Amino acid sequence: MLSIHLDNGRELQSIYRHMNQDMVKKWYSRGIQAFPTGEIRPKALLPAIARGRSGDIHIVPMLWGMTFPAVPGKTTEQFLHEIPADLSASQKTRLWSFHRCLVPMSWYYEAEYLFNQTTGKYDPGAGRFLCQPSGADFSYLACVYHLEEGYPAFAVCTCSSCMNIFPRIPVIFGKDDVHAWLSPDVNPETLFCHRFMSLVTDYEAVSGSL
């Protein structure tokens, strides 16, 4: 499972200072008050950069994970913390009907996967990797979000990986692409060539499940 790390540095402190306080109070009214640092997993509340109806850019607290009603053949609702961005043409319309946002991060953790030559699929390994875009101490996850009972919830966009240790990786941008990703006039698929392609990875053995 994907998780991210946020260092409590100057960039993050600046983001928290500019947080939309009205939305912070709404989350507080639901008993959710934590804006974490360190390692963060899905279902946490995080700062997200999004464009408002007036076109202004705001920093809004959002919940990590989008919930969808049960689909035919399933009795439980679907909870997605990641969502594929490299979809077929018939599926892209639904994906890009969601609003776009960006979530800051220092680096992220990804579970180890081992390619199974027999099945042609990836099987979970015993460890995980710490991953950071080359040359970037602070970057942004490309995400989409919608409202759930009036509260914003997001999922991280992922794409196929050219690295044999991961089947998929998140779409990550630098500061120069923030405005373009949030612009409704820009086709998001044209920005994928700008994403960070080179990752610095460090293996970490983990006991127990992630």
**Strands 172-173, 168-170: pairing kind:** unpaired
| CATH 3.40.50.10160 corresponds to the domain 3-107+138-196 | no
**Strands 107-116, 121-133: pairing kind:** antiparallel
Q: Which two tokens stand for residue 128?
A: 């995980």
Structural domain boundaries of the chain?
3-107+138-196
Q: Mapping DSSP to helix (H, G, I), strand (E, B) and coil, where does residue 17 land?
A: helix
Check: CB of residue 82 under 8 Å from CB of residue 4.
no
| pTM summary value | 0.83
Question: What are the per-10-residue average pLDDT scores of the chain (210 residues)?
Answer: 85 86 85 77 91 88 84 62 73 77 92 81 80 87 91 89 71 90 88 79 63
How far is CA 188 from its chain centroid?
15
Close Cβ partners of 165 (under 8 Å, ≥ 6 residues apart): 112, 113, 129, 201
